[in-house]
């Protein structure tokens, strides 16, 4: 097994309620299972996963064990990004061994009937900005074919955010669905005022209006005309805790924060069985993890638009992107595993052949 660190700058800082993101630092893992290569990625993000140094230490401690067996999976509840890297690398190798695209292999592992779709619908992420900047980004995304927009809110006064939301709603066609993401920025009073302020708008859902720990508060906000989604809450609470609290209508699933593709598909199916809608997103990952996230989303039957169109946020990447995004949809790679041998150059770069 090999391990290689990387750091990728963003094209421009991404403003969120928890601050600006300017770069993404992570680690690549390469391993072989039964003679087949697999590659994984760990790209930790504060608030969702373990810190970078903890992730690195965990991955450095992983050994292959038996020559014909995969390495032990790190604890996904303690070091989810490290677990993601190992789970993805093993899954990639096993899918290649089975002659299946990763999405089809994931369905097989989860006993999900049917073949994955050829493409997955996406939402475009619109960062925090003034009204003019926000509207421009939203309309540009719609012109590019996106039918779902996710607008970042929570970094400003709730009244200012309401002005931004209404400006976007006026600027786009009624067929465009708008989602809001507050990243846990508001207290209960502020969140209530925003929900009341958008009650007359057709907003698909409001994501994480309250702090991750406040499941009771999330439950109390439901039923005000706009569905609620949990994201950061799943980094600190189990799905069972969210279900028991009645805290959400939608669950945002980040494979990097949940410990890998297989665990993400399992959580998505359990959420569906409980009546919640799963949405797969990234943590602004590099190309290996983004490709895996597209496969993960495609493994979930009838998945709604997902937050996977984040490659353009990076100023540089690790390799060419095998996922083509056309008119707001991500085309699923059809080669075995992640994308056949499209990432083999990363093995060569790390001294492996």
Whose CA is closest to 127, among 205, 16, 209? 16
Encoded tokens for 172: 């786009």
Closest CA to 169 of 207, 142, 208: 142
Report DSSP state, residue 333.
Answer: P
- Predicted confidence at residue 16, as pLDDT, reads 54
- Ordered by start, the domain boundaries in the chain are 2-99+342-349, 119-331
**Token pair 């097989």 in the structure block, residue:** 108
The count of residues in the chain is 353
Summarize the confidence of residues 300-329 as an average pLDDT.
95
Q: Is the pLDDT of residue 351 over 60?
A: no
Of 128, 164, 153, which is closest to residue 20 (Cα–Cα)?
128
Burial (CB < 10 A; 0-12, 13-18, 19+), residue 33, is buried
Between 197 and 352, the higher pLDDT residue: 197
- The CA distance from 340 to 22, in Å, is 31
Q: What is the pLDDT of residues 79-126, one digit of tens each?
A: 999 999 999 999 999 999 999 999 999 999 999 999 999 999 999 999
For the residues 225-233, what does the mean pLDDT come to?
A: 95
Q: Check residue 323 and give its pLDDT.
A: 97
What whole-number percentage of the chain has pLDDT above 70? Answer: 95
Pick the CATH number of 119-331 from 1.10.3720.10, 3.20.20.120, 3.40.50.10470, 3.30.930.10: 3.20.20.120
CATH superfamily, with its number, for domain 2-99+342-349: Enolase-like, N-terminal domain (3.30.390.10)
């Amino acid at each position: 097994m090999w391990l290689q660190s990387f750091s990728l700058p963003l094209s421009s800082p991404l403003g969120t309620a928890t601050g600006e993101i300017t770069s993404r630092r992570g680690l690549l893992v390469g391993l072989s299972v039964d003679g087949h290569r697999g590659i994984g990625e760990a790209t930790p993000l504060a608030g969702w996963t373990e810190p970078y140094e903890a992730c690195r230490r965990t991955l450095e401690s992983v050994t292959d064990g038996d020559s014909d067996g995969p390495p032990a999976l790190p604890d996904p509840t303690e070091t989810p990004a490290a677990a993601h890297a190992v789970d993805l690398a093993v899954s990639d190798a096993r899918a290649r061994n089975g002659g299946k695209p990763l999405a089809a292999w994931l369905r097989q592992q989860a006993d999900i009937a049917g073949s994955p779709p050829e493409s997955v619908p996406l939402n475009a992420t619109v960062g925090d900005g003034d009204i003019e900047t926000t509207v421009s980004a939203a309309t540009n995304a719609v012109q590019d074919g996106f039918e779902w927009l996710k607008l970042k809110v929570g970094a400003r006064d709730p009244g200012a955010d309401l002005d931004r939301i209404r400006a976007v709603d006026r600027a786009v066609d009624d067929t465009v669905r708008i989602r809001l993401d507050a990243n846990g920025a508001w207290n209960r009073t502020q969140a209530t005022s925003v929900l009341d302020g958008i009650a007359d708008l057709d907003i698909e859902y409001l994501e994480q209006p309250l702090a991750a720990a406040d499941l009771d508060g999330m439950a109390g906000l439901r039923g005000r005309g706009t569905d609620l989604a949990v994201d950061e809450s799943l980094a600190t609470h189990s799905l069972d805790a969210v279900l028991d609290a009645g805290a959400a209508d939608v669950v945002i699933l980040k494979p990097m924060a949940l410990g890998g593709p297989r665990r993400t598909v399992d959580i998505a199916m359990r959420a569906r069985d409980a009546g919640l809608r799963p949405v797969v997103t990234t943590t602004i990952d590099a190309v290996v993890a983004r490709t895996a996230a597209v496969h993960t989303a495609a493994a979930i039957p009838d998945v709604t638009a997902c937050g996977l169109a984040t490659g353009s946020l990076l100023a540089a990447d690790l390799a060419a992107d095998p996922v083509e995004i056309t008119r707001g949809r991500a085309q699923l790679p059809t080669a075995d595993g992640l994308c056949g041998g499209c990432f083999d150059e990363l093995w060569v770069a790390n001294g492996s052949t």
